């Protein structure tokens, strides 16, 4: 996840250099980070992305996935290029996307609205929450899991 406050600061810094922080760039960077350590685990990967707006963005998302593979190779010295199929659909078309949307919405309600009730009913199902903007301990952010549980927001 990313925090709006931090993204606002990044946008202001880029604006000083006559550049824009685009939502697609933020999303693509998150895709790259999320998949970096996952794509080598299967012989084949099928990835569904929820469409945001009218554009499928398959090429941009494929580039983000390729960057994730390259980052894995740079870190571990081995390039895994398992066949990867990327599909874009509206959540109403793919049940799994509806489920993911609900989990992300519950996390958003926890952070933005300080409402724990939605997140609390699902917390046991989350495997990893990557807070890329909480850099108090690590430069790459804080990762929450069963071993490092997300603290109460209140």
Distance CA 75, CA 140 (A): 14
Mean pLDDT of successive 10-residue segments in the chain (154 residues)?
94 95 93 91 93 86 93 92 92 94 95 93 93 93 91 67
The pLDDT of residue 154 is 53
| Neighbour-count burial of 47, counting CB atoms closer than 10 A to its CB (0-12 exposed, 13-18 middle, 19+ buried) | middle
| Residue 69 token pair | 């593979």
Q: Are strands 129-131 and 142-144 parallel, antiparallel or unpaired?
A: antiparallel
Distance CA 91, CA 40 (A): 26
Task: Give helix 23-35 / helix 58-76 axis angle, nearest 10°.
Answer: 40
């Amino acid at each position: 996840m990313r925090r709006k406050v931090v993204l606002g600061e990044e946008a202001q810094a880029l604006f000083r250099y006559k550049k824009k922080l685009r939502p697609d760039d933020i999303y693509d960077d998150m895709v790259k980070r999320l998949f970096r350590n996952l794509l080598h685990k299967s012989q084949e990967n099928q990835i569904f992305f929820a469409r945001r707006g009218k554009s499928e963005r398959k090429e941009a998302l494929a580039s983000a996935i390729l960057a994730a593979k390259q980052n894995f190779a740079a870190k571990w010295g081995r390039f895994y290029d398992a066949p990867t199929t990327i599909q874009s659909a509206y959540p109403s078309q793919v049940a799994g996307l509806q489920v993911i949307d609900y989990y992300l919405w519950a996390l958003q309600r926890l952070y933005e609205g300080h409402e724990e009730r939605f997140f609390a009913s699902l917390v046991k199902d989350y495997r990893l929450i990557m807070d890329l903007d909480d850099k108090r301990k690590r430069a790459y952010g804080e990762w929450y899991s069963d071993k490092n549980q997300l603290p109460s927001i209140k």
